[in-house]
Chain A
Amino acid sequence: KNQVEQSPQSLIILEGKNCTLQCNYTVSPFSNLRWYKQDTGRGPVSLTIMTFSENTKSNGRYTATLDADTKQSSLHITASQLSDSASYICVVSADDMRFGAGTRLTVKP
């Protein structure tokens, strides 16, 4: 069983709308959690990184939250743009890195 579960698997929203992606993990011990954006045909690009003590971190229109007690993280995208269409991957680091399967986001005009 994957130790990092992401939901939804895919999501379609209209341009300008907000959305929230979820990441639940069972990885332990926990070192840090990263969200990556992967455009089609490209390598993943880091959006945020959070350690155990951080609850929220923003990067422009992207805001990540972390609840280390419940082992949940979310990535909130505000005022979505067409260029936000990509896969978003949650990565949890402990002794090694554990990847979620990703959420495929499609933003339509």
Chain B
Amino acid sequence: DAGVIQSPRHEVTEMGQEVTLRCKPISGHDYLFWYRQTMMRGLELLIYFNNNVPIDDSGMPEDRFSAKMPNASFSTLKIQPSEPRDSAVYFCASRLGGRQGGGYTFGSGTRLTVV
């Protein structure tokens, strides 16, 4: 298995533009998580899905952020319009089984820079 695959690895965009981050979880994993990491705040959970259904999106900072999981092998995180304060590394992670047990596998992340 190639692990959790995220694209793009790096994204530089201008303020106000729409940004779409993509994630392919490990095949068979039924939980998918989106995290954001900054120097100031560390890793923050944005949203997670179970069997393609959004379970908890309380970490999504505001309405400019949205996430979808149209099928078990693909998820997107969209920011529209983007702002400089959205600059961070966005990680996708997946796991099998309940949310508390087992291990998470993280993707390599997407480094987003909004100028």
Which B residues are in CB contact (< 8 Å) with A102?
A: 42
Which A residues are in CB contact (< 8 Å) with B111?
A: 41
A97 at the binding interface (Cβ < 8 Å): yes
Q: How large is the interface on B (under 10, 10 to 19, 20 to 34, 35 or more residues)?
A: 10 to 19
Q: Once the chains bind, are A32 and B109 in contact (CB under 8 Å)?
A: no
Contact A99 to B42, CB < 8 A, known contacts A32-B101, A43-B91: yes
Interface hit among A13-21, A44-52, A69-77, A78-86: A44-52
B56 at the binding interface (Cβ < 8 Å): yes
Q: Once the chains bind, are A32 and B103 in contact (CB under 8 Å)?
A: no
The complex places the Cα of A44 from the Cα of B108 at a distance, in Å, of: 8
Report A's interface with B, CB cutoff 8 A: 2, 31-32, 34, 41-46, 49, 89, 93, 96-97, 99-102
